[in-house]
């Protein structure tokens, strides 16, 4: 499915639609995806769609159902199972009520579902039911919201879209909005209308077939875009081609301070594109950016206002700016609270840093990306509105009501544990195979964002996701290491966990047979590269959140064997380097611990032929050889990775300088 960009185009494709079939729900899925793939219409779960269908139940009775987008689903990836089937008669009876809390509304909607395993219905399900058309589409189109967020925007949007559209003054989403629309349209001739604008919020389109409802949405939004183009403000300015200022240590400091305000580690995204730099450099940027969000729905992700820094802010200046942000946020809460609300954390969700760019913060990388996407569209809409008379957001009271909506407060009370390493930022070397690959997988599974370094080009293709960055890196090249560390900080905002794992096990040779190349190459990979890595990471680790280094050494450190002089000496040197690091970095809050794995046989070093040969030497089967330790267990890469995560996490928060074997028990060490 092809997605489109400005100017919007109708992308209905007869062949694609035929592939979905004639079933109304299937077509609802198709047009939902068409809408969802355009960020200028919906972002990250925003917007919703529905279809009304008559179905027979288990008893053969026909029921009129509203299939409405379920909570947590994104229109861009919509599937039939993402729609919640709710009985229309229940929804319409709720619309007739004069009062209903949103919490009660959610409970009643849930009880009226015909499939208890479906997701919770959208909070706008009643509104979709009230609109008497089979297909209903709702988006937060940038162009429409930008126009309504200007002085006289109500009148302007009416002139643009005409009398085939209903216009509803801003009302809090949920039951109050549904009830308001129901009251205003009770006697309306709906056949006269193609859409409905919710001022400062979004736009609806509707029809009795999927294609027409979708195409009406695109036509209406295109009219709004054409109006903005006519004002000569559609093409936004960009900053000059000169490189933006960069202060990665200041970025790491800011990310740490935001984490402290939040009460949890966060990922920080820095957008320093020409568009972001131009926005951050606007003469009135502090005033413009602090007028409020694009639409109230965004406040859940962005808070009402950003953190605004000066171009030359020192770390002390950043800390002071955050203190001011916190003070103003708490004052905003006190001005608007009813007294029975819990104040949310006082940390910003985004920030403006002139000459550097625009920042987005999130409890994990995906959440930071959501904020970054919303802010990209906010920057655009704000500048459009400025060119059309001025950006005017809703009053803070309206924004507060959405930010502290009872449904959002209920989510807070439910809580739910976060993964132990959520928001942490890790670097793993030797990450394309074996223990390193397992470490990347385990760290991500426990919530960390990870940069995976390896000389193997496949490292760039192995993982997908907002929380992972695969980089080709020769760890014996100090400049390559420095560049990889800088790229990590740019991508995630700092460094908390370092896993020096890259290693080389050369062919067995006695000391008298040792050639210079084997010795030098082994020392460079196993020892010198680790110094390069630590040297590059320490300036950021000391600014990290409970920072930790977990060095992957070897059983050969406490129990070397003949024929492995280069490997044993280099791993012993690596261990000694880590011990010195523990002494130096402990007073700065950085923990350094070491692991000594042995006989981890699911790595590339242990081919089937090597395993069979070693097993024969010991008169064992391969399975017996794998478990040739005191506990008679097989040690896998995942086992080592799990202990790496433990040592990087809170369980080892008061341990540094430790050396732990991961070998099933070796009598030579014990």
Looking at the annotation, which residues are catalytic? 567
3-state SS class at 449: strand
**576 vs 578: CA distance, rounded Å:** 5
Whole-number Å distance between alpha carbons of 506 and 303: 55
**DSSP states of 561-615 as a string?**
-TTBHHHHHHHHHHHHHHHHHHHHHGGGT-EEEEEEE--BTTSTTS-HHHHHHHH
What is the per-residue DSSP string for 281-293?
Answer: T-TTHHHHHTS--
Q: How far is CA 133 from CA 137, 264, 318, in A?
A: 10, 46, 53
Coil, strand or helix: which one is 202? strand
Q: What b-and-e string marks burial along 64-83, b requiring 16 or more CB atoms within 10 Å of the CB?
A: ebbbbbbbebbbbebeeebb
Which strands sit side by side in the sheet containing 307-308, from one edge to the other?
267-271, 357-362, 350-353, 307-308
Q: Which residues contact 415 (CB under 8 A, 6 or more apart)?
A: none
End-to-end CA distance of the chain: 61
CA–CA separation, 274 and 526 (whole Å): 41
Number of helices and strands in the chain (H, E) = 25, 18
How many C-beta atoms lie closer than 10 Å to residue 646's C-beta?
Answer: 17
Could you give phi then psi for residue 265, rounded to 5 degrees?
A: -65, 145
CA distance 552 to 594: 6
Buried b (16+ CB within 10 A) or exposed e, 260-273: ebbebbbbbbbbbe
Give which of 105, 283, 78 is closest to 178, Cα–Cα.
105
Closest by CA to 336, choosing from 261, 413, 410, 405, is 405
What residues form DSSP beta bridges with 468?
Answer: 450
Q: Are 525 and 454 in contact (CB under 8 A)?
A: no
CB 252 within 8 A of CB 494: yes
Rg from Cα positions in the chain = 29
Within a 10 A sphere around the Cβ of 382, how many other Cβ atoms?
25
Q: Which of 194, 188, 135 is nearest to 162 (CA)?
A: 194
Torsion from C-alpha of 145, 146, 152, 155, nearest 10 degrees = -50
Assess contact for 221 and 139: CB atoms under 8 A: yes
Q: What are phi and psi of 52, to 5 degrees?
A: -100, 130
Cα 506 to Cα 79, 454, 563, 565: the distances in Å are: 52, 18, 10, 10
């Amino acid at each position: 499915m092809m997605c489109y960009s400005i100017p919007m185009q109708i992308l209905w494709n007869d062949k694609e639609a035929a592939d979905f079939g004639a079933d109304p729900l299937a077509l609802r899925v198709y047009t939902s995806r068409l809408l969802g793939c355009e960020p200028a219409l919906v972002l990250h779960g925003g917007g919703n769609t529905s279809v009304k269908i008559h179905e027979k139940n288990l008893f053969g009775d026909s029921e009129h159902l509203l299939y409405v987008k379920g909570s947590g689903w994104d229109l861009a990836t919509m599937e039939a199972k993402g729609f919640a089937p709710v009985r229309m008669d229940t929804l319409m009876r709720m619309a007739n009520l004069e009062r209903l809390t949103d919490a009660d509304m959610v409970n009643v909607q849930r009880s009226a579902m015909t499939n208890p395993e479906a997701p919770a219905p959208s909070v706008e399900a009643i509104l979709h039911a009230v609109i008497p058309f089979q297909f209903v589409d709702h988006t937060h189109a940038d162009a429409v919201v930008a126009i309504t967020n200007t002085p006289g925007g109500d009148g302007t949007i009416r002139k643009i879209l005409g009398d085939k559209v209903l216009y509803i003054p801003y009302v809090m989403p949920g039951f109050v909005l549904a009830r308001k629309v129901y009251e205003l349209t009770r006697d309306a001739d709906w056949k006269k209308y193609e859409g409905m604008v919710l001022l400062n919020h979004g736009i609806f389109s509707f029809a009795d077939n999927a294609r027409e409802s979708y195409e009406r949405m695109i036509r209406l939004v295109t009219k709004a875009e054409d109006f903005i183009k006519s004002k000569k403000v559609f093409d936004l300015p960009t900053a000059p081609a000169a490189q933006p200022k960069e202060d990665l240590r200041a970025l790491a400091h800011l990310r740490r301070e935001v984490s402290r305000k939040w009460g949890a580690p966060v990922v920080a995204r820095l957008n320093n594109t020409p568009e972001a730099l131009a926005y951050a450099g606007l003469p009135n940027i502090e005033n413009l950016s602090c007028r409020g969000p694009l639409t109230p729905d965004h406040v859940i992700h962005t808070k009402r206002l950003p953190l605004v820094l000066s171009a030359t802010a020192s770390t002390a200046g950043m800390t002071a700016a955050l203190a001011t942000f916190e003070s103003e946020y708490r004052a905003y809460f006190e001005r608007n609270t009813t007294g029975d609300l819990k104040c949310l954390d006082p940390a910003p969700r985004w920030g403006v840093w002139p000459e550097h760019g625009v920042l987005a913060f999130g409890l994990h990388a995906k959440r930071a990306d959501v904020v970054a996407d919303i802010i990209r569209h906010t920057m655009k809409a704000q500048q459009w509105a400025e060119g059309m008379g001025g950006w005017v957001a809703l009053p803070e009271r309206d924004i507060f009501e959405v930010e502290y909506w009872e449904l959002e407060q209920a989510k807070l009370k439910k809580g739910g544990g976060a993964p132990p390493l959520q928001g942490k930022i890790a670097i793993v070397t030797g990450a394309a195979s074996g223990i390193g690959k397992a470490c990347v997988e385990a760290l991500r599974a426990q919530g960390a964002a990870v940069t995976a370094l390896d000389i193997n080009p496949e490292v760039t293709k192995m993982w997908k996701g907002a929380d992972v960055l695969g980089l080709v890196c020769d760890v014996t090249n100090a400049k390559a290491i420095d560049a990889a560390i800088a790229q990590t900080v740019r991508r995630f905002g700092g460094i908390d966990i370092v896993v020096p794992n890259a290693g080389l096990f050369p062919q067995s040779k006695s000391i008298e047979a040792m050639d210079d190349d084997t010795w030098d190459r082994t020392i460079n990979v196993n020892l010198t590269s680790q110094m390069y890595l630590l040297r590059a990471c320490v300036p950021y680790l000391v600014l990290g959140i409970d920072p930790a280094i977990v060095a992957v050494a070897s059983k050969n450190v406490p129990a070397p064997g003949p024929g492995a002089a280069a490997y044993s000496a280099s791993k012993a040197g690596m261990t000694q380097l880590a011990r010195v690091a523990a002494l130096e970095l402990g007073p700065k809050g950085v923990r350094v611990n070491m692991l000594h794995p042995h006989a981890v046989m699911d790595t590339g070093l242990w081919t089937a032929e090597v395993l069979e040969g070693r097993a024969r030497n010991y008169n064992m089967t391969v399975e017996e050889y794998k478990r040739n330790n005191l506990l008679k267990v097989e040690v896998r890469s995942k086992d080592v990775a799990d202990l790496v995560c433990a040592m990087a996490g809170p369980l080892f928060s008061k341990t540094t300088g430790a050396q732990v074997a991961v070998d099933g028990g070796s009598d030579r060490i014990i």
